[in-house]
């Protein structure tokens, strides 16, 4: 294989990875937008979403088949379930803390993350669960680059979800309200916008997107475990920061950029795949230090 082929192959791998990052990053960025909180539990919602998707597929796989049809049903139900979970988390844990100092709400978010993680750890004995599907390995060969049908479905689904989100945010009343709330909550209240409801909807959508990513990732990689939300949570946050936290197109772009950077990064001599994660965190730290507003983010207003 020539260098071009290797790079093309990595482009495909990067797109797949980037789609997962983007879907999770969207939730981070939307939730940050409306309540200015880094929802540490978001990666774990993705993880629980993977498990719920797996549970549904195990239940209905027999009748519907465990290929993309069954997985779509599992993904949909998991999205609903995780959307509700997100709303509950916001109501129970974050809402009472909104007026408290920042440190308190951050620790609360961490606590929620740990509760989710350790609940699943307890239920699964910390074992990796095989996510069995009937997905094939067929695909298209373009030049020397091989793209599986699974990869195409996955990237396509992620793209559809993102288009749907973008339409929701720019065309509907609640989407506009969401953007308004992220700019000025008090003004929204004066204008008669039900801020609590907008926040709930944001948590629902953000968590549902994470659940979609969790289910697809489980099906694609064939395994799930309680700690899988940790790394992707961190990376999705990186993606959100690259794109500019609070910016929806930024999160999409940031996810893809990070996925591609990782895929190409592993080809750089000296950065083998074992250094992949170190590579991503280094990018995170560099972005935060040199361009904390990201590519699409607005600069934070002056202090005071």
Partner 1 sequence: MADDAASRRRRDPAPSRPNTGVAQLLAVFDDPRKFWLAIAVVLVAVAVAPLLFGQYATVILTNALLYVVLCLGLNIVVGYAGLLDLGYAAFFAVGAYAVAILGQQTALGFWAAIPFALVAAAAAGVIIGGPTLRLRSDYLAIVTLGFGEIVRFSARNLEITGAASGISGIEQPSLFGWHIDSPTEFYYVFALLSVFAVIASVRLANSRLGRAWLYVRHDEDAAEAMGIDRVRVKLAAYVIGSIYGAIGGIFFAVNLGAISPESFSFEQSVLILMAVILGGMGKIPGVILGAFIIVLGPELLRDLGELRLLVFAVGLLLIMLFRPSGIWPSRKS
Partner 2 sequence: MLLKLSDVQLRFAGNTVLHDVNFGVAESALTSLIGPNGAGKTSLFNCITGFYKPQGGSVVFDGHELLRLKPHRVTKLGIARTFQNLRLFREMTVLENVMAGMHCRTHAGAFAAVFRTPGQRREEAEIRAEAEDCLRFVGILDEKDRIATTLAYGHQRRVEIARALATRPKLMLLDEPAAGLNSGEKDELIGLIRRIRDERGVAVLLIEHDMGLVMKVSERITVLDHGRLIAEGTADEVRRDPKVIEAYLGQEEGEAAL
Closest contact distance (angstroms) between CB of 299 and partner 2 is: 10
Task: Output the smallest distance, CB 131 to partner 1, in A.
Answer: 21
- Per the CB < 8 A criterion, the answer to whether 68 and 135 are in contact is yes
Pattern 12-41, partner 1, x by CB under 8 A:
-------------------------xx-x-
Residues that bind partner 2 (CB under 8 A): 302-304
Residue 65 CB neighbour total at 10 angstroms: 15
Q: Residue 63 or 299: which CB sits closer to partner 2?
A: 299
Two structure tokens written together for 72 = 């779509």
Residue 302, contacted partner among partner 2, partner 1, none, CB below 5-8 A by kind: partner 2
Q: Which is nearer to partner 2, 101 or 192 (CB)?
A: 101
Q: Residue 43 or 244: which CB sits closer to partner 2?
A: 244
Among 121, 152, 180, 295, binds partner 1 (CB under 8 A): 121
Task: Name the one range near partner 1 by CB under 8 A: 47-55, 160-168, 229-237, 249-257.
Answer: 229-237
* Closest distance to partner 1 from the beta carbon of 304 (Å): 6
Note the Cα 168 to chain centre separation in Å: 18
Q: Select 267 or 282, whichever has its Cβ closest to partner 1.
A: 282
Q: Is 160 in the site for partner 1 (CB under 8 A)?
A: no
Strands 129-130 and 139-142: unpaired
Tell me how many degrees the CA angle 80-84-86 measures, rounded to the nearest 5.
115
Residue 285 lies near partner 1 (rule: CB under 8 A) = yes
Q: Could you say whether residue 114 binds partner 1 (CB under 8 A)?
A: yes
Q: Which is nearer to partner 1, 40 or 220 (CB)?
A: 40
Is there binding between residue 126 and partner 1 (CB under 8 A)? yes
Least separation in angstroms between CB 302 and partner 2: 6
By CB under 8 A, tell whether 3 contacts partner 1: no
What does the binding site for partner 1 look like in residue numbers (CB under 8 A)? 37-38, 40, 93, 95-104, 106-108, 110-112, 114-115, 117-119, 121-122, 125-126, 189, 194-197, 230, 234, 237-238, 241, 274-275, 277-278, 281-282, 284-285, 288-289, 292, 300, 303-304
């Amino acid at each position: 294989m020539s260098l071009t082929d290797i790079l093309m192959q990595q482009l495909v791998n990067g797109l797949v990875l980037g789609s997962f990052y983007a879907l999770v990053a969207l939730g981070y960025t939307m939730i940050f937008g409306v309540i200015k909180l880094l929802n540490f539990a978001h990666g774990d919602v993705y993880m629980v979403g993977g498990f719920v998707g797996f549970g549904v597929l195990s239940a209905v796989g027999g009748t519907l088949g465990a290929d993309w049809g069954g997985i779509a049903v599992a993904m949909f139900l998991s999205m609903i379930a995780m959307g509700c979970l997100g709303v509950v988390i916001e109501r129970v844990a974050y809402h009472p803390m909104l007026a408290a100092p920042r440190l308190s709400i951050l620790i609360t978010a961490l606590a929620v993350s740990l509760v989710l993680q350790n609940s699943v750890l307890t239920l699964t004995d910390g074992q990796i669960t095989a996510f069995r599907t009937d997905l094939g390995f067929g695909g298209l060969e373009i030049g020397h680059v091989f793209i599986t049908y699974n990869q195409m479905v996955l990237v396509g689904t992620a793209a559809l979800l993102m288009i749907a989100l973008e339409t929701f945010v720019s065309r509907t009343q609640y989407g506009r309200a969401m953007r308004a709330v992220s700019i000025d909550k008090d003004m929204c209240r004066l204008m008669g916008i039900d801020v609590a409801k907008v926040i709930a909807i944001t948590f629902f959508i953000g968590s549902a997107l994470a659940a979609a990513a969790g289910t697809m990732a489980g099906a694609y990689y064939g395994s799930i475990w309680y700690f899988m939300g940790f790394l992707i949570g961190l990376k999705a946050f990186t993606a959100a920061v690259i794109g500019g936290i609070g910016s929806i197109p930024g999160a999409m772009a940031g996810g893809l950029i990070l996925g591609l950077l990782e895929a190409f990064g592993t080809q750089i001599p000296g950065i083998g795949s074992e250094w992949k994660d170190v590579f991503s965190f280094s990018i995170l730290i560099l972005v935060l230090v040199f361009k904390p507003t990201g590519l699409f983010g607005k600069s934070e207003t002056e202090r005071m």
